[in-house]
Structure 1
Amino acid sequence: MTQSAFRAKLLTFTGDPAQSPDAAVFHEDGVVIVEDGRVAASGAWSALKDRVSEGASVQDLRDKLIVPGFIDTHIHYPQTDMIASPAPGLLPWLETYTFPTERGFADEAVAADTARFFVDELLASGTTTALVYCTVHKQSADALFTASEAKNLRMVAGKVLMDRHCPEFLRDTPQTGYDDSAELIARWHNNGRQMYALTPRFAPTSTEAQLEACEALAKAHGDIFIQSHVAENLDEVAWVKSLFPRQRSYLDVYDHYSLLRRRAVYGHCIWLDDEDRRRMAETGAVAAHCPTSNLFLGSGLFDFDKAQETQMPVTLATDVGGGTSFSMLQTMNEAHKVARMGGHHLTATRMFWLATAGAAQALDLADKIGTLAPQSEADFVVLDPKATPLLARRTARADSLEELLFAFALLGDDRAIYETYAAGARVHSREQARR
């Protein structure tokens, strides 16, 4: 048995800080003890120092903060190279930049190179788990999983399904989409730390026949993830209404094909009504809030109060490359501002929960990731409060946990990530990356 220990300030969660004032657990002088890739114990150093074995590796990080690894619930790895591309809105942006870029992933070398860079970029931002969209090409999913497996990450990904309203060079069929997805599920789902997500891009790019194929796959594999987009943009909502006139709403299209359930994650969820939100709460389907993307594309403002009223599960996501940063800290920054524009005060403590334990709970992975609980997988991030002169100056004056976390969320980015660990192994070091 190999043991290592990390002494630092610690933050973890036992529940939603919006529901319980004691849900955030903070230790000014804490320790995480790791054995064979899992957390053996975490808590106050004074209580646990005798649990540290003689000869164990002990890192002294007392001037830094350890938090569970960030979880990004909606991101497109093929869009890495087209991030920050100008367009007047969602649909023109897809036509002008997204589809032409994704065409290149027919080349296995392009897919592999992009996947490696993408994974490294996630880790540099402190993200240890993500729900990832690949392209329509089967090899794009293989490349992403291969890059993730090399770092031993807990990753969820899937091949995109599209059989209409897209360029011919990105089009599959109901049968090829079904066959490719089934093959990828067999190869990658629960293979080590890799997990599969059935991935119809969004309702307008799938025929009824393809959605029926998705329904069949989802019913045959009850523990796989499902991911898609819903109610991001008003033009898109109107388009879906014209394509599926018999369905009550955009979300109802997915519900009609039995695609709302636990482990089903829908990006954006801006233009839902209360019946939609209640239906997501009833089924356990998750809303992935993508603030930097929604602001960049002018899609609209997510309604936190309505989500809270209906108990719709919510997580945070970057949505790169519509999103403008891989950093979950930058995503928190924009999420706070979006919430304020709607009259909702989103605390930093809750934003950290949404990006860690809250996401793990929503994704049905709370027994594996998202906290520093004993037997959880040892995925965590070391945050540096002195990463920049301004951050150092502000955190030195922080009089509470909320102020400290708020400074990280509003002033932090990838520079604040000192180290990232996956299954107890260091997979990113800021100092080494700078050399």
Structure 2
Amino acid sequence: MAFILMPLYTLHFTTGEYGVMDMATILITLLFPILTLLISEGMLRFILDDKANVKFYITESFVVMTASCMVLLALLPLLDLPIFGGLGEYKWWFLLSYIALCFPTVMSTVARALDQTRLMAYASILSAILMGIIAYVTIARMNLGLIGYFYSYIIGNGSAALIYIVGGRQYQFISLSEWINKRHLRKDLWRYSLPLAPNSLCDQIQTTASRLILTGTLGISFSGLYAAASKIPNLLNVLQQIFSLAWQISTFQEFRSRSLKHFYDVIWRGYNAIMVLGSSLVILLTSFIAKILMQGSFYAVWPITTILVLSFYLASLSNFLGTIYQAYMHTNSLLLGTFAGTMVCIAWTATTVSHLGIVSAATGALIANLLIFIIRAIDTRKFMKIDFHIYKFLTTLFLLAAQTTIVFLQFTQYQVFSLFCFLGITLIQCFELLPFMKIIVKKKEQH
């Protein structure tokens, strides 16, 4: 929905206002793993293995969510610091926005654990519709500016929580007696969850540090421009989330099966093909998409989007490999690559921002995600040796990198060369998708 509403934001917000909005978004995303320690992810993993103690795991998660809101309340005065670019003026709206994200997030994870997939769809649709309507009314019609954004964010996400409470009756799984009497289960739950928090935190620090460096060095307006360029890759985020929701639970369920490696080999082929084709298509159409989504002065930074798309593609591959650590419950190993990538991203952005401007943040993210992928591709082999189809993969990656460079630098006839790269990638990946197409055709024939 943030992607769909982007033209509304870029048309009615100044670059400074957009920067404040983005600062609020990334801080909420950053604080969530810090304050909740991603206990909800541990809850999901343990519920799938231990159905008898569902109430304890769910209650533990809601207790942690409530505590995180109280901690944030105490930290609100820090938002008045200059580094946050004026977000302190909206500190109470920021707190409500965090609460509106926090509880629906854990509720959606509960729904996944309890196989309430239809409920998740209803909640997402209602939330998106309300967010869009309220944003249009409050920003375009009532001219409330950033306050209108906060209204839409809080009410939109809050409606999702209402769906989970009423439709999913998740309140029946909250039991203080179970939470007290089965506290011996807490140790294993936290042992699994704790490494996930710093791993997610490092991911968010990449984004947050880049924004803070841009804000501190160039000003909040430049941070707003970079934020706008970062939104176009969100097109691909939809694809990634669909796959992630499906294969994460399937991986946990297949863990004790001998066919786990085969499962990963097959999923890798389909996942990589979809993500690289989507990335190449977005790069091909970036200038056209930007004309629609990036109004006024925001349009000038559209070439940076190509670098961010390539970076997102590499990050999506790293996330795929990350599920191997979670399946084998070796979440400590997740930190190795993520921490290294984060440090490289911060160092690169800080040292090059005065020369490259906002391009420094984009290239920093790209270098970091490439490093994380390489580390995980090597490290996960101690658990499972995935067949990457290395020659096809490297050829495809080369074509995608070439397409990114050509469009970013806007060579003569760059759109023609970009099309050739896309067609080359499509030709290679069609062979990777062929087994999936055969399965789909076979199932249709059976019906």
- TM-score bin, normalised by smaller chain: under 0.3
The structure that is helix-richer by fraction is 2
* TM-score normalized by the length of structure 2: 0.26
The higher radius of gyration belongs to 2
* TM-score normalized by the length of structure 1: 0.27
